[in-house]
Amino acid sequence: MTDRLVDARAPRDLHAFIAGLPKAELHVHHAGSASPRIVSELAARHPDSKVPTDPEALADYFTFTDFAHFIEVYLSVVDLIRTPEDVRLLTYEVARDLARQQVRYAELTITPFSSTRRGIDERAFMDAIEDARKAAEAEFGTVLRWCFDIPGEAGLESAEETARLATDDRLRPEGLVSFGLGGPEIGVPRPQFKPYFDRAIDAGLHSVPHAGETTGPETVWDALTHLRAERIGHGTSSARDPKLLAHLAEHRIPLEVCPTSNIATRAVRTIDEHPVKEFARAGIIVTVNSDDPPMFGTDLNNEYAVAARLLDLDERGLADLAKNAVTASFLDDAGKARIKAEIDTYTTDWLTP
Ligand X SMILES: O=C(O)c1cccc(C(=O)CC[C@H]2O[C@@H](n3cnc4c(=O)[nH]cnc43)[C@H](O)[C@@H]2O)c1
Binding interface with ligand X (CB under 6 A): 29, 32, 71, 74-75, 78, 109, 111, 114, 117, 149, 151, 153-154, 182-183, 210, 213, 261, 291-292
Pairing of strands 232-234, 210-211: parallel
C-beta nearest to Zn ion: residue: 291
CB 190 within 8 A of CB 226: yes
Between 69 and 281, name the residue whose CB sits nearer to ligand X.
69
By CB under 5 A, what part of segment 284-303 binds Zn ion? Answer: 291
Phi-psi region of 200 (alpha: psi -120 to 50; beta: other; left: phi over 0): alpha
Between 222 and 291, name the residue whose CB sits nearer to Zn ion.
291
* Catalytic pick among 213, 230, 303, 315: 213
Between 22 and 259, name the residue whose CB sits nearer to ligand X.
259
Distance from chain centroid for Cα 14:
23
Residue 262 CB, nearest approach to ligand X (Å): 8
Binding partner at 32 among ligand X, Zn ion, none, C-beta below 5 to 8 Å by kind = ligand X
Between 78 and 239, name the residue whose CB sits nearer to ligand X.
78
Catalytic annotation present for 213: yes
Between 261 and 301, name the residue whose CB sits nearer to ligand X.
261
Q: 301: which DSSP letter?
A: H
Residue 255 CB, nearest approach to Zn ion (Å): 12
CB 289 within 8 A of CB 25: yes
Element (H, E) at 196: helix 194-202
CB 49 within 8 A of CB 79: yes
| Measured distance CA(332)–CA(336) in Å, rounded | 6
Binding partner at 172 among ligand X, Zn ion, none, C-beta below 5 to 8 Å by kind = none
| Measured distance CA(73)–CA(96) in Å, rounded | 24
Residue 181 CB, nearest approach to ligand X (Å): 9
Binding partner at 71 among Zn ion, ligand X, none, C-beta below 5 to 8 Å by kind = ligand X
E runs forming strands in the chain: 23-29, 103-110, 143-151, 176-182, 206-207, 210-211, 232-234, 255-257, 286-288
Instruction: Please list the alpha-helical segments (H only) found in 46-145.
Output: 55-61, 67-78, 84-100, 112-116, 122-140
Residue 54 CB, nearest approach to Zn ion (Å): 26
Between 14 and 144, name the residue whose CB sits nearer to ligand X.
144
Looking at residue 197, its amino acid is F
Q: Which residues are CB-contacts of 237 (< 8 A; sequence separation ≥ 6)? A: 212, 213, 215, 216, 217, 219, 220
Element (H, E) at 340: helix 333-351
Binding partner at 74 among ligand X, Zn ion, none, C-beta below 5 to 8 Å by kind = ligand X
Residue 312 CB, nearest approach to ligand X (Å): 26
| Measured distance CA(73)–CA(61) in Å, rounded | 8
Binding partner at 212 among ligand X, Zn ion, none, C-beta below 5 to 8 Å by kind = none
Residue 248 CB, nearest approach to Zn ion (Å): 18
Binding partner at 83 among Zn ion, ligand X, none, C-beta below 5 to 8 Å by kind = none
Interaction site with Zn ion (CB under 5 A): 291
**Residues labelled catalytic:** 213
